[in-house]
């Protein structure tokens, strides 16, 4: 079956001397993997390796056999070119980090247009704004809405955040109940707009602690989720 779809580059991996295996989140068919033969040596083809930088927005024409094997891309082009995302050091560090988050979070080969539109909208926002220190935190929190484990806010005034069950409570009942200034800051992100969350004041230490809580929260709610390898680079950039 031939499909035409917007797509977001989630991950790419060199295969042999000239091939790439790329993982794309498509608007019409969910997460798909493709084999791009000879793309690393081709200079005049319709498909270029430069198209497959992390989180690039593409328009693709592809052949899907739907047999659980690697699919084939016939044509690809950048649909909405970024101006700063891959050239600004802080933004590119965020991009590498979030591409790993998505690689470890999105599993299904199912259409999820709401998630696709969320990703596209927020990436374009990141590209066009400079006040981005809290972007990755707000991105991850709102991502949980689309993945099905956004925290229950009905008792948000309670002191403890029960990461295992995803709600706030008055008492410490398990190893994953946490409280403290970083949890108070986490609460500020919940229920705010994306733009408002950029103005939440965080020290370097608090930002790191909030992020670590979120990463553990993802680990608890997503099977086989792993901390991104790029986390150390992200922390260095924010120092």
Q: For residue 63, tell me if it sits in a domain.
A: yes
Of 46, 78, 110, which residue sits at a domain end? 78
Query: 159 and 221: one domain?
Result: yes
**Mean pLDDT computed over 92-96:** 95
Q: For residue 83, tell me if it sits in a domain.
A: no
Query: 194 and 103: one domain?
Result: yes
Whole-model pTM: value is: 0.93
Query: 59 and 104: one domain?
Result: no
CATH number for position 143: 1.20.1440.120
Q: Predicted confidence band at 42 (pLDDT cuts at 50, 70, 90)?
A: confident
For the sheet with 19-26, list strands across it.
30-36, 19-26, 2-15, 57-63, 72-78
Query: 142 and 61: one domain?
Result: no
Query: 123 and 73: one domain?
Result: no
Query: 74 and 97: one domain?
Result: no
Average model confidence (pLDDT) across the chain: 93
CATH number for position 74: 2.40.50.140
Query: 199 and 157: one domain?
Result: yes
Compute how many other C-beta atoms are within 10 angstroms of the C-beta atom of residue 22: 26
Q: Containing domain of residue 126, as a range? A: 89-238
For residue 39, the 8-state DSSP code is T
Query: 114 and 149: one domain?
Result: yes
Query: 98 and 147: one domain?
Result: yes
Instruction: Check whether 187 has a pLDDT greater than 80.
Output: yes
Query: 151 and 50: one domain?
Result: no
Query: 99 and 152: one domain?
Result: yes
Burial of 171 (0-12, 13-18, 19+ CB in 10 A): exposed
Domain tally, the chain: 2
Q: For residue 12, tell me if it sits in a domain.
A: yes
Query: 114 and 207: one domain?
Result: yes
**Mean pLDDT computed over 176-199:** 94
């Amino acid at each position: 079956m031939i499909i035409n779809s917007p797509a977001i580059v989630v991950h790419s991996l060199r295969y042999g001397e000239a091939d790439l295996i790329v993982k794309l989140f498509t608007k019409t068919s969910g997460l798909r993997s493709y084999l791009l033969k000879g793309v690393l040596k081709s200079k005049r083809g319709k498909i270029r390796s430069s198209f497959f930088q992390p989180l690039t927005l593409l328009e693709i024409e592809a052949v899907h056999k739907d047999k659980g094997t690697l699919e084939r891309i016939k044509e690809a082009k950048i649909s909405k070119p970024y101006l700063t995302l891959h050239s600004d050091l802080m933004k590119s560090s965020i991009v590498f980090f979030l591409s790993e988050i998505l690689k470890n979070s999105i599993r299904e080969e199912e259409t999820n247009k709401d998630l696709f539109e969320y990703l596209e909208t927020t990436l374009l926002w990141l590209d066009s704004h400079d006040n981005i220190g809290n972007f990755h935190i707000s991105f991850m929190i709102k991502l949980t809405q689309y993945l099905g484990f956004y925290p229950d806010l009905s008792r948000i005034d309670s002191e403890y955040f029960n990461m295992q069950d995803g709600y706030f409570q008055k008492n410490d009942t398990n190893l994953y109940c946490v409280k403290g200034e970083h949890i108070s800051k986490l609460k500020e992100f919940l229920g705010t707009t994306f733009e408002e969350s950029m103005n939440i004041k965080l020290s370097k230490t608090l930002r790191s602690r909030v992020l670590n809580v979120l990463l553990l929260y993802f680990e608890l709610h997503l099977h086989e989720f792993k901390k991104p390898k790029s986390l150390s680079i992200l922390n260095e950039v924010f120092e």
